[in-house]
A = this chain, B = another copy of it.
Amino acid sequence: MKKLKIGIAGLGRIGKIHLNNLLELNNVEVIAVMDPSFEAIKYAIGKGVELGLQNYKDLLEIKELEAIVICTPTNTHADYVEIAAKSGKHIFCEKPLDLNLQRINDVLKVVEKSKIKLMIGFNRRFDNEFCKVKSSVKSGFVGEPYLVKITSRDPAPPPIEYIKNSGGLFLDMTIHDFDMARFIVDKEIQEVYAKGEAFTDISISKAGDIDTAVIVLKYTDSTLAIIDNSRKAAYGYDQRLEVFGSKGMIQANNIMIDNNNLFTQNGVKSSLPMNFFIERYADAYKKEIIDFIDSVINNREVSVSGIDGLKSLQIGLAAKKSLKENRPVKVDEII
């Protein structure tokens, strides 16, 4: 069997996840990695990758390279995707493509012309809990959906320097939930109302960002959605979803660290939800990259397109505007 020759740009936390998942696959060969850090390159070499580069363009010049996984910082995504598309490499790119809608539109045009595959990294679409909810919704088990509820809380905020460059809570964190809202019921968002506060850390507030948010979405067909977010849940990572419809309700609950229950005179004690995205979505990351490889090898449409990336950004920008102006904002106000 011929193996797909792939490279990885960016070996931070997510880059390493993809590297390790790709190394387990039989139909892929990671022929090179790129990262400015020598330490990161050494990590990949130690795993058996033969070529480590510090410059993105050098990576793209490798002729036999067929596909690339982009996990570099957000502000490089658009350029890197453009370069790769022009070089005819298939692309898996972490979210978001860019924080500027026009820039994304331009990049997507380049991608379209180049005929390569571009998949955006919305990992939660591959999570077993959410896939089962989607499948139940599709099967009509809850009837016509009326309301989608998403709770997404992190155990702790990222460093303040990261936050400053993140585009803010809605573009960095809620963007996953915006994508989930579209994905879970296969419907588009029309209007956004967002409310938020910086409760946990004065530096977040000083950076002009928030750490706690509530967002109401209205789909084009009037279905409603609520998202609530926090950058800091004392009890860890909280990832819940609920779809309520004409025939019932389905919930995806947290996956707990274990299923032990301790009964003592003080009450019943059980374990917390799995701590953070690396553990919680370990399987989803695997399925995601397998799905990308499969779309390239079998020349089929990718599961998460550039348009998906664009749409969740657009909703995120609408949320930012809504928060600023304290009014519901139509998604198509954002252009």
The residues in A between 257 and 308 inclusive whose CB is less than 8 angstroms from any CB of B are: 258-272
Chain B residues near A335 (CB-CB < 8 A):
none
The verdict on A247 contacting chain B, using a C-beta distance below 8 Å, is yes
B267 touches A271 (CB 8 A): yes
Chain B residues near A258 (CB-CB < 8 A):
128-129, 132, 252
Nearest chain B CB to A315 CB, angstrom units: 16
Known: A214-B216, A226-B228, A234-B264. A144 touches B250 (CB 8 A): no
> How far is B245's CA from A199's CA once the two chains are assembled, in angstroms?
10
Chain B residues near A261 (CB-CB < 8 A):
250-251, 253
Q: A24-B24, A129-B258, A253-B261 are in contact. List 10 more A-B contacts (CB 8 A).
A: A143-B234, A193-B195, A193-B328, A199-B222, A214-B216, A232-B246, A247-B264, A252-B260, A266-B269, A270-B270
> How far is B18's CA from A326's CA once the two chains are assembled, in angstroms?
44
Nearest chain B CB to A143 CB, angstrom units: 7
B224 touches A249 (CB 8 A): no
Q: Which of B129, B147, B234, B260 contacts A132 (CB 8 A)?
A: B260
Instruction: List 29 A–B pairs whose Cβ atoms lie within 8 Å, in order of A's numbering.
Output: A129-B258, A129-B259, A133-B260, A136-B260, A143-B234, A144-B199, A146-B197, A146-B230, A153-B244, A195-B216, A197-B222, A197-B224, A199-B246, A228-B244, A233-B244, A233-B249, A234-B248, A235-B264, A248-B262, A250-B262, A250-B263, A251-B260, A252-B260, A253-B261, A255-B259, A263-B272, A265-B272, A268-B271, A269-B269
Interface residues of A, count at CB 8 A: 64
> How far is B255's CA from A265's CA once the two chains are assembled, in angstroms?
16
The verdict on A90 contacting chain B, using a C-beta distance below 8 Å, is no
Known: A226-B214, A254-B259, A328-B327. A264 touches B246 (CB 8 A): no
Nearest chain B CB to A154 CB, angstrom units: 13
B247 touches A234 (CB 8 A): yes
Give per-residue flags for A189-212: 1 if the beta carbon is below 8 A from chain B beta carbons, else 0.
000010101011000000000001
Chain B residues near A230 (CB-CB < 8 A):
146-147, 244
> How far is B234's CA from A144's CA once the two chains are assembled, in angstroms?
12
A260 touches B129 (CB 8 A): yes
The residues in A between 130 and 153 inclusive whose CB is less than 8 angstroms from any CB of B are: 132-133, 136, 141-144, 146-147, 149, 153
Chain B residues near A262 (CB-CB < 8 A):
136, 141-142, 248-250
The verdict on A218 contacting chain B, using a C-beta distance below 8 Å, is yes
Nearest chain B CB to A240 CB, angstrom units: 9
